[in-house]
Amino acid sequence: MSARKEAHPERGRASREVPADPQSAADLGAQVPLQGDLAAELEAAREEAGRNLETAQRWQAEFENFRRRQAAQAEDQALRAGERVVERLLPVMDDLERTIDHTLQGGDLGHLLQGVEMVQKQLIEVLGREGVEVIDPFGEEFDPHVHQAVSQREEPSLPEHTVVDVLQKGFRMHGRVLRPAMVVVSSGGPGRET
């Protein structure tokens, strides 16, 4: 047993004191420095890592601030866009009130109708400047992407699926349908040529 105790300490000492293999050092070259102050290099690496971490944290904070500013600007622009539309609608509202007041003060219904039609025209112009188009498909072929059929009417003289009545106009903005037109379509007529 004493021989075993003596063998273990020698193996432990031998494993701690193994010199660098000259062949390995030649193969690795400058990749692994075998001499020098490792503690100083480790401290320098830690300082560099700390500086890099501070820089990354500063960039992250700046990015978060930028993102917040962009979100606030987008919200402000959306509010301003709404203000612009409202400002353009105010004169339309004024004209509508004047039309109502004129009718209440004894104006005839012909003037009321004429005034309401003028207000409607103004409103359509304001919406048009904002990119809104009216969908009024009377006489056109039914298109399920733009129209909503609510009923059919027997019309043997018209091609199948022709819009014969518009119950509610639709609206499209910048190519996107906001509201489809509610329509009545024909049935019982000849098929459409494609």
Distance CA 40, CA 131 (A): 68
The model's pLDDT over 148-161, given as tens digits with 9 standing for 90+, comes to 999 999 999 999 99
User: What is the share, in percent, of the chain residues with pLDDT greater than 70?
Assistant: 81
Are 190 and 159 within 8 A, CB to CB? yes
Can you give the C-alpha Rg of the chain in angstroms? 41
Q: Are strands 181-187 and 170-173 parallel, antiparallel or unpaired?
A: unpaired
The model's pLDDT over 21-51, given as tens digits with 9 standing for 90+, comes to 666 656 655 555 545 688 888 889 999 999 9
The model's pLDDT over 102-156, given as tens digits with 9 standing for 90+, comes to 888 887 888 888 888 999 999 999 999 989 999 999 999 999 999 999 999 999 9
Lowest mean pLDDT among 14-23, 84-93, 163-172: 14-23
Residue 3 reports pLDDT greater than 60: no
Distance CA 52, CA 68 (A): 24
**Look-up of token digits 């500086």:** 51
| Residue scoring higher pLDDT (22 or 63) | 63
Residue 9 reports pLDDT greater than 60: no
- Give Dmax (Cα) for the chain: 129
pTM of the model: 0.56
